[in-house]
Structure formats: C-alpha cells, structure tokens
A and B are shown apart, each in its own frame.
Chain A
Amino acid sequence: MSTVPFDINTFSRRILGRCRLWGTILRISIQERIVYRGDFMLGTLMRFLPIVTQMFLWAAVFAAVPGNSGGETRIVGYRYQDMVAYYLLTMLSRAFSSMPGLASGITREIREGGIKKFLIQPIGLLEFLFFYRVAHKLVYYSIAAVPFAIVFYLCRGFFLHTPHGWEWAAYVASLIMAFLLGFFLEATIGLLGFWFLEVSSLLFIYMLLSFFFSGHMFPIDMLPQPFYTIVRMIPLQYLAYFPSAVFLGKVRGEELVMGLLIQAAWVVTFMVLAKLTLQRGLKRYSGFGG
C-alpha cells in the first residue's frame, strides 16, 4: 500500500472510478441478459403450475384436520389461505435468493483457467460476479414482474394479512438480505473449487438441504423437535421461509428485529467467508488451462 497523505480529490476520483466500473459491469450484463429473454415469460408462468397442485393438496389436508370446522382450521397457526399465500411468497423469496449457475460457474472458471483474467484486470472476481448477478436479477424481475403480477392478482383472495407501514420496509429488507445471503453462500461453495475442482456433489447436497430446510417445500414451523430447533439455527431459513413469514405477519416486534439482525449477521459472515476463501484459494491456485 502507498503512504500518500490523504487527499480528498484523489479519494473522490477513486470512488467515482469504482462507481463507473460497477456501472459498466451492470450495463454490459443487462444487455447480455436481454438477448436471451425468449419464451422466458411463459416459462415463469409455468413455474407456478406446481402451486396449483399445492392449493388442492392443502385444501384436502385442511378439510380433514379433526376438531375444527369452517374456514378457521389452523395448522401450526396457518389458515388454509395463509398456507397458499406462503407458497406464493416463497416463490418470490426464491426469486431473490436462488443463484442458478453461480457456484458451478465459479468452479468452472477455476478449473478451466478463466479466473486468471480477474488476476490481471483491475476488477475483483466477487465484485464482477456480484454486479453481474444484480444485473441478471434486475432483468429477471423486470420481465418476470408480469407473470408474477398476474398470479398474485388472481390469488389476491389468499392474502388475508398484508404488511403495512414499516412491515413493508422489514419485508423488503429481508428480501434484499435473502439475495445477499444467497449470493455469498453460493459463491463460497463455488470458491471451494480451488480445493476440490469439482463441487457438483457438494452443490447438490446444498440444494437438497436448502430445498427442504429453507422452507421452500413447507413452512418450517411444521417440523417436529429437534429438527425445528436445528433448522432455526442454520442460515437456510433466511433464503425462503423468513421473508415469507415476515410478509404474513408471523414474526413481529422484537422477534422481527432480532430476525433481521441475525439475517444481517449471516450475510456479513458469508461475505467475509467468501472473501477469505477467495484469498486463500488464490494462494494455492496454479493456473490450469490456457
């Protein structure tokens, strides 16, 4: 590091430079994504089809729950409508937290040597991937907004509880942090490729656990002990369950504040972990491929 005395002009020029760099990565990546939009909207609409089955399945389940009658039957505090709303909301959470191809992409770059370009260019690997992903997601949301809006409008009757005021802010914060957590978690897994070269089995285990324990398949409140306590302690729930629970008003007051803080702590943890893994990995990197 140089020991030039602090100069506000140089400093602001450097910040400005950084921002311009980030802007450029963002712009290039957006253009790249738009090219491939194709039958994307139809594909997104179809992704909601399994929810149709879930709606009927849960209707049948709720109808048969003993000791209750009418619309007030509850399973772990969820009414039928809450349950359907929950599944719709996890679709939205997953739209933020899932990172298709991130980990496997990083490992491929390591294996095939593509990562070398980040060693000589003035852009960090994580930095580039992060803005690439932000661009990817921005394009995704701008196109997927249409099918999402259609489905949520058609299903508006299932939302018995909608957030108000600062609950919205908490919800948006939890979604953004779900994105950050998903990114740094998967980036860390991908960066383990410095040691393993192939992380597909590791990634598969992660995907499996995350599908079951993030709350994508069912609200994790349904889990019996001791699974419930364990699942509440690991970070996966913040990828899908937590934002949806915030939206449905399941976490309130102090619990909500604590939840957001713990989520933020996980984000920071994995951010640091990803950076450390990259640093350590680059030290043992031997530059395969041409």
Chain B
Amino acid sequence: MIPLRQYLLVFGTFARNSLIRDMTFRANFIIEFLSSLSWVFMNLGFYILIFRYTPSLGVGTGWGKYEFFAFTGTGLMINSLAAMLFMTNADNFGNFVRQGNLDFLLLKPIDTQFIVSLQRIEWSSSGNFLVGLLLLLYSLRQMNYVPSAITTALYIVYIICGLLILYSLMFMMASTSVWLGRNETLFDFWFYIVNFARYPMEIYEGRFGRPFRWFFTFIIPVLVAVNVPARFIARPLKPQTAQDWALAGFTIVATVAMLVLCRLVFLAALRSYRSASS
C-alpha cells in the first residue's frame, strides 16, 4: 500500500508535466483556452436571451435569472473540473487499450485506475472554471446573498460529489472499450447524458418529465451532480424543503455507490484486458 502522500506527489508531477507540455505548445494552448471559453459565452448569451422573455424557468420553482446563473456557474465549475482532470484521460484510456500501451501502466507500482484517470491534466479548461466561479459570485451579489461558512463548506463538498459522480460515469463508459474495442458512440452518449444536467431538475415535469427526472436522479444520478450543490448556494426555494435535505443525503449515497461501481467495472475491465500489438 502506497501512502496518500506519495499519490499526491505523483499527482503533482502529472500536473506539472501537463503544464510544461501545454506551455511548450503555447499557441495551441491559447486557442484551446479561448475556444472553450467562447462556447461558454455563447451558452450564456442564449440564457440571457431566454430571460429577456421569461422571469423564471417554470412556475413557482424559484429559478429566476440570477438563481439560474448561480446554477449555471456551479455546473460550469463541475464540468470544467471534469474536463480538466478526467476527460482527456478517459479518451486516452480507449487508445491505451486498443494499442496495447496499457501494459506499461499495469507494470507501474501504483494503482492503475489512479494513473489512467489523472495522467494528463487539461489546463486549458481552467478558464471555464474561473468563468463559472465569477458567474456564481456575480449572481450571489445580484441576489444579495452571502452564504454562511457552513453553506459554503457543504457547497464545496457537494461540488466534489458531483465531480465524482461524473467521473464514475465517464470511466465506466471508457472501461467498456476493453470489451467493445471501439466506443466512440458510447463516449458521445456521456456528453448527451451530462447535457440533461445543464438545467434545474424542475424543468423535467409532466407525464414524460417525471419518470425522466426519476431515472436520471436515482438510476443514473447525473441530475443530482449539479442540482444539489446549486440548491445550497442559489436557494431557489426558501426555506429549503425536507425533500432537498433528503436529496442531499441521497447524493452522498449515490456518490459512494457510483465510485464503488466504477471501481468494480474498471477491475473487471482489467481482468478482460488481453493486450494488443506488442
């Protein structure tokens, strides 16, 4: 068993190496940085446009303009962290499996899932994180709301939970490349599912919306990833309902369950790995 300190040390090296690599191809880094930012600003433009026509999303949900912007800021932070830490790695995992490079990682005296998940840090996504944070701070200011220390602490904990849920989903899908060989469609699928979490869960209403919301809350828990932290900080409904607290409790359970499931799928994938090329 390697102590935690060593893991942190290795992670620091990964982060440093990635940064050095990014700075070597600086023009490319700047283009990637700006391009991901411009997608964000385009989406914000769309949201601003929507709120020119409506005061809130849904009746009595409490998601007014700034509540929703706080939500979007939260979503941006979680998604940019996922993109920064895991996205490229999940993509590379499939390549490692196809080309047989996973052999070398298996030989390293450190947990394989750790290396596979964090080897490459995508620093160019850090801009999105900052925009998310600024958007959140701006919205809180507009709402005249200063969260207490406890709320802030809970918010951070739930952001991490959201990140871990997205991570687990991503790596479960990436692991399937061991069996499927190629899984670009599945990887796209991840994007489409995460896309559902871009809006408050209250919008999934009605005959089709309710079962939809239930499925993506309790079976594939993507909706709680952004919704639960955002509800703490944006407080769309004051005071918060018992249902909110129940959902917060469930999120902890869901995070642990997803991580365990992801670990099991990953280990099963490693067992089925048969190398390639050599």
The reply to whether A64 and B203 form a contact with Cβ atoms under 8 Å apart is: no
CA distance A49 to B190 in the complex (A): 11
Complex CA distance for A156 and B57, rounded to whole angstroms: 25
Closest to B63 in A: A60
Q: State the CA gap A57–B201 with chains docked (Å).
A: 10
- List chain B residues, Cβ under 8 A from A42: 185
Q: How far is the CB of A90 from chain B (nearest CB, A)?
A: 14
One digit per residue, 1 when the CB lies within 8 angstroms of any chain A CB and 0 when it does not, for chain B 178-217 equals 0000000100110010011011001111100100100000
Q: A46: CB under 8 A from chain B?
A: yes
Q: Is B246 an interface residue (CB 8 A)?
A: no
| Inter-chain contact B188/A43, CB cutoff 8 Å | yes
B106 interfacial contact with A, CB 8 Å? no
Are A218 and B46 in contact, with the CB atoms below 8 A? yes
The residue on B at minimum CB distance from A62 is B54
A49, B195: Cβ atoms under 8 Å? Answer: yes
B53/A65 in contact, CB under 8 A: yes
Q: How far is the CA of A4 from the CA of B64 in the complex (A)?
A: 76
Chain B contacts for A63, CB-based, 8 A: 58-59
Residue of A nearest to B183 (CB): A39
Stretch at the interface among A14-22, A204-212, A264-272: A204-212
If A39-B185, A212-B45 touch, does A53 touch B54 (CB 8 Å cutoff)? no
CB <8 Å contact, B53 and A61: yes
Residues of A within 8 A of B46 (CB): 212, 217-218
Determine the interface band of chain A, counting residues with CB < 8 A from chain B: 20 to 34
User: Shortest CB–CB separation between residue B19 and chain A, in angstroms?
Assistant: 23
Task: Report whether A43 and B54 are in contact in the complex, using a CB–CB cutoff of 8 Å.
Answer: no
Q: Which residues of A contact B192 (CB under 8 A)?
A: 46, 49-50
* Inter-chain contact A208/B54, CB cutoff 8 Å: no
Does A122 reach chain B (CB closer than 8 Å)?
no
Interface size class of B (residues with CB under 8 A): 20 to 34
Contacts of B52 in A (CB 8 A): 222, 224
Cα separation A65 to B195 with both chains bound (whole Å): 24
Known: A56-B204, A217-B42, A218-B46. A64 touches B199 (CB 8 A): no
Give which listed residue, A52, A53, A60, contacts B57 with CB less than 8 A: A60
A138 at the interface (CB under 8 A from B): no
Whether the Cβ atoms of A64 and B198 lie closer than 8 Å is no
B215 CB, nearest partner CB in chain A, Å = 12
With the chains together, A47 CA to B59 CA distance in Å?
29
Docked CA distance A259–B49 (Å): 25
A64 and B56 within 8 A (CB): yes
User: In the bound complex, how far is the Cα of B209 from the Cα of A206, in angstroms?
Assistant: 35
CA of A46 to CA of B184 in the docked complex: distance in angstroms?
A: 12
Distance A126 CA – B134 CA, assembled complex (angstroms): 47
Instruction: Give the one of A61, A218, A222 with max B CB within 10 A.
Output: A61
Q: When chains A and B are docked, how far (Å) is the Cα of A57 from the Cα of B61? A: 13
Assess whether B55 is in contact with A57, with CB atoms less than 8 Å apart.
no
Q: Assuming the A-B contacts A49-B195, A201-B31, are A208 and B38 also in contact, with contact meaning beta carbons closer than 8 angstroms in the complex? A: yes
CB distance from A212 to the nearest CB of B (A): 5
Please tell me if A234 contacts chain B, counting CB pairs below 8 Å: no
Interface presence of B50 (CB below 8 A) = yes
Question: Given A61-B53, A218-B49, does the pair A53, B199 have CB atoms closer than 8 Å?
Answer: yes
Please give me the 3 A-B residue pairs with the lowest Cβ-Cβ distance, nearest first: A60-B58, A60-B203, A49-B192
Having A46-B185, A208-B42, one finds 20 other A-B pairs with CB under 8 Å, namely A39-B185, A46-B188, A46-B189, A49-B192, A50-B192, A52-B212, A53-B198, A56-B209, A60-B57, A60-B58, A60-B199, A61-B50, A61-B53, A61-B57, A64-B58, A66-B55, A75-B53, A218-B49, A222-B52, A223-B49
